[in-house]
Each structure stands twice: as C-alpha cells, then as structure tokens.
A and B are shown apart, each in its own frame.
Chain A
Amino acid sequence: DGGITQSPKYLFRKEGQNVTLSCEQNLNHDAMYWYRQDPGQGLRLIYYSQIVNDFQKGDIAEGYSVSREKKESFPLTVTSAQKNPTAFYLCASRYGYGTEAFFGQGTRLTVV
C-alpha cells in the first residue's frame, strides 16, 4: 500500500530536548517537504529536498534541521533552539515539477 507515513501521531517532549520526527514514503518521489502549522494558520515551509543528499531552507528553518540520506526518508529534528516548537508538523512528497504533492497525516508535537 503506497503512501507517505509520519510517526508518531502525537509526541510530547520536555523543553530543551531535541526531538526527531519521522517521514517515510514508498512512492518513489524525488522531492520531500516539511511544514509547520499553528492553530488557525496556514502551512509554513520549514525545509524541502529535491533529491537525495540535498535540501534547502524554507521560510522558517531556524531551530530545525533535516537530512536526506535515502530517497524514502526525510527526518526533521526540532532542536532546543526552536523557541516555540509546539505545533502540527506535516510532511509531503512528490515526483517533481508539474506533479501533485501527497501529504502525511501529521505529527502533533507538544513541548512542556
């Protein structure tokens, strides 16, 4: 069953701890994306990757880091430098130019 999987669905962390959110796709897509969504707001782009071993900052990359060592995986680390990490995080992937993106169901991160 093809798709894009984010895990876990809910995640709780203590302030000051780094946390890594998982995003895996078996759609053979080249491009992958991470977005952040706050209550009542739209999606804001954190990082995106067009190909393995390459990624670019989005509009709100500060306090986040990513890696793209495998085509299927694009993990996002929320570091202690992110001042307001509590949010809904969405991962997406697509083949590339002119194609539609598919989204995971999101991870809701709460930092206490």
Chain B
Amino acid sequence: DAKTTQPPSMDCAEGRAANLPCNHSTISGNEYVYWYRQIHSQGPQYIIHGLKNNETNEMASLIITEDRKSSTLILPHATLRDTAVYYCIAAGGGSEKLVFGKGTKLTVNP
C-alpha cells in the first residue's frame, strides 16, 4: 500500500468549507484513495473513496489530482460535529491490506 502524508492538525470555522489535503505520491494505478474519520473513542466512520475521478456523496467531496499523487477531502459546510481525526488511506493493488496513518485532527470552531 502507498504511504500517505497528512498535516497533523487543521482548524476550520463553523459553516465554512473544510479542505483536508493528503499526499500519496507513490500510489499505484489500481490503488483507491479512502477517507475515514474517527470521533473520540468510537470506531472510524467511512466517508468516501475514489480511484481516478472526483467523487461526491452526501457527506463530502473527494478531489483527486490528475496525476493521482494527492487528493483533497472537502466538507462543504463544516459543523461542530465534524470535529474528528480524518484518515486518508491508499489501498488496493492486489492486497486487502488497509493501513492507517496518523491522520489530521480537524477542529471546527464556532
């Protein structure tokens, strides 16, 4: 699995868009990019994933660069309940292995 790099922490104002970056410069062609978040002391929650194209669902949007070496998770209107640790994972490539990094702690401020 490709290694991912995320900033350790970010802040966002309530109601504004939160843009969380992820670098995965060694990603292979058949590895997906997944995003999860974890609110304190709970199991991680799936947010979104994609391979090449940008994706959008009811929670967020995922923007993947054309060279696939980085991506951005966008929470369009952040709320206080979006305060969590966000994990970006690159996985696939013939193995079912899912390896989490340290993630980004997002704090949404009122």
Interface presence of A100 (CB below 8 A): yes
- CB within 8 Å of B: which of A18-65? 31, 33, 35, 41-45, 48, 50, 56, 58-59
- At the interface, is chain B mostly helix, strand, loop or mixed? loop
The answer to the question of A105 belonging to the interface, with a C-beta cut-off of 8 Å to chain B, is yes
A42-B102, A97-B92 known; A58 vs B97 contact (CB < 8 Å): yes
Residues of B within 8 A of A106 (CB): 41-43
Of the candidates A88, A101, A105, the one whose C-beta lies within 8 Å of that of B98 is A101
| Interface pair B98/A92, CB less than 8 Å apart | yes
Decide yes or no: A42 and B98 within 8 Å by CB, A88-B41, A104-B43 being known contacts: no
Interface residues of B (CB under 8 A from A): 32, 34, 36, 41-46, 49, 51, 85, 87, 92, 96-103
Are the C-beta atoms of A98 and B102 separated by less than 8 Å?
A: no
19 A-B pairs with C-beta separation under 8 A? A33-B98, A41-B102, A45-B97, A45-B99, A48-B96, A58-B97, A58-B99, A88-B41, A92-B43, A94-B98, A98-B49, A101-B36, A101-B46, A101-B98, A102-B46, A103-B45, A104-B43, A106-B42, A106-B43
Given A102-B46, A103-B45, A59:B99 Cβ within 8 A: yes
Q: How far does the Cβ of B106 sit from chain A's closest Cβ, in whole Å?
A: 14
B96 & A96 in contact (Cβ 8 Å cutoff): yes
User: A48-B97, A98-B51 in contact; A42/B103 too (CB < 8 A)?
Assistant: yes
Cα distance, A101 to B103, chains bound together (Å): 17
- 20 A-B pairs besides A31-B96, A100-B46 with CB distance below 8 A are A41-B102, A42-B101, A42-B103, A43-B44, A43-B100, A44-B100, A48-B96, A48-B97, A50-B96, A56-B97, A58-B97, A58-B99, A59-B99, A90-B44, A92-B43, A97-B96, A100-B34, A102-B46, A103-B44, A106-B43
